[in-house]
Amino acid sequence: MDARSIIAGVRDRRGLPPEAAAWFARGLADGSVSDAQAGAFAMAVLLNGIGEAGRVALTEAMRDSGLVMKWDLPGPVIDKHSTGGVGDSVSLLLAPALAACGVYVPMISGRGLGHTGGTLDKMEAIPGYRALPGTEALRKVVAEVGCAIVGATDEIAPADRRLYGIRDISGTVESIDLITASILSKKLAAGLEGLVLDVKVGTGAFMATPEDAQALAHSLVKTANDAGCKTSALITDMNQSLGHTAGNALEVMEVMEILTGAGMNEALWDVTAALGGEALMLAGLVEDAEAGAEKIDDAIETGRAAEIFGKMVAALGGPLDFVERYPDRLPSAPVVRLVPAPGDGFVSSVNARALGEAVVHLGGGRLVGSDKVNPSVGLSALAEIGEPRSRGEPLAIIHASSDAAADAAQAAVLAAYAMSEVQPEEPDLIHERIGP
């Protein structure tokens, strides 16, 4: 078997048998498959597809190209994955809430991609937090605390790490087959018993149309279940920022306000509870998702989730008093500016992607891979669809490193918001459930 014959098989629509997927994944991991061959493979998959069986084969092969974790814990091992959005800090709420309900959560997360925020970038806004502690530290913290939000080590799915970079430069990012295998190979390498997926749809999502979101959700759910991991998905709205904030430290601040009872964001809470309910049902700890959502609500309301979040932060190098002193511990930007509404009316629509791009250009994300993220910048007090505004009232608050950066962000925010005289209906928060 060789790379050329495997590429030709996909090119000629003969699919990707398990033995071919395993050979190619090993070649990606050890370098025996060249960049040119990897790019040709990715393009062949994009153009011709590999079918349901091929997706499972590629997912399992990339999972098995590195370390596959095994757990010996007194409770189920479950995780959640989001396809990416703006102001989406659900993971920071959900991991400790699930741990408070008896679930163990090795949440292997990623950094910001394009206009979307990254969970690791948010956690690294906490001073001292080690987002890449290594596999042994992950095992220890999950066993002792119940959850750990960390990044993948070089041992986890190395074939995916190689193919991911090739996809970015070869114009093949959009392939649902490759997206599916990429997401699931890393998650399944964490040794999960169950996985709940948050597939975003709307102006701030990678999948902007319902049809594309449904196709990805069905692919992920079917592939993960066929690979032996109980999985369901919720398609959730991303036609505006999920949180009232977008930006790393600002989103952590919002999460801490919810966990400690100092603030509330109903949309962020409701999505967290819905996904948590699915996770607890997959874990077999409740009869249905509704009962699971009630347990998540209770974990947050009683402060148990906040206590676990604090223990996780301390165990991974952050401040011991973070829960009590988070406003003092998180960095703040030197320039804070209101964005006034240009006239009277209701917020009728929001270009969430444009808001995410504004945060990136403020320095809260990366324009190129080598960029250093500024954790303090971003947007807060974001107006929601259906809310009234009078001329001069704020649509958002900008947190910037300079007046020039704030000027550019103000123009971007004003362009992202549309106003109308008639109050529109609020978009549904959860569009659909897809499960086994």
What residue ranges do the domains of the chain occupy?
A: 3-63, 78-325, 335-420
CATH topology of domain 335-420: Aldehyde Oxidoreductase; domain 3 (3.90.1170)
Annotation marks residue 121 as catalytic:
no
**pLDDT value at residue 172:** 86
Annotation marks residue 403 as catalytic:
no
- pLDDT band at 369, cuts 50/70/90? low
Distance CA 334, CA 332 (A): 7
Evaluate if residue 337 carries a pLDDT over 70.
Answer: yes
CATH topology of domain 78-325: Pyrimidine Nucleoside Phosphorylase; Chain A, domain 2 (3.40.1030)
- CATH, domain 3-63, list 3.40.50.620, 1.20.970.10, 3.30.43.10, 3.30.750.24: 1.20.970.10
**pLDDT value at residue 164:** 85
**Lowest-confidence range among 170-174, 308-312, 326-330?**
170-174
Distance CA 371, CA 383 (A): 29
**Lowest-confidence range among 180-189, 218-227, 348-357, 360-369?**
360-369
The pLDDT tens digits of the residues spanning 107-144 come to 998 876 667 778 999 999 999 999 999 999 999 999 99
Say which residue the tokens 């033995």 belong to. Answer: 19
| CA dihedral of 90, 214, 64, 32, whole degrees rounded to 10 | -110
Annotation marks residue 167 as catalytic:
yes
Q: Quick one: tokens of 372?
A: 């250093």
Catalytic entry in 55, 63, 81, 329: 81
Annotation marks residue 260 as catalytic:
no
The pLDDT tens digits of the residues spanning 375-424 come to 999 999 999 999 999 999 999 999 999 999 999 999 999 999 999 999 99
Annotation marks residue 82 as catalytic:
yes
Annotation marks residue 353 as catalytic:
no
Annotation marks residue 390 as catalytic:
no
Q: What is the CA radius of gyration of the chain?
A: 21
Catalytic entry in 119, 185, 232, 245: 119
pTM: 0.93
Percent of the chain at pLDDT above 90?
A: 89
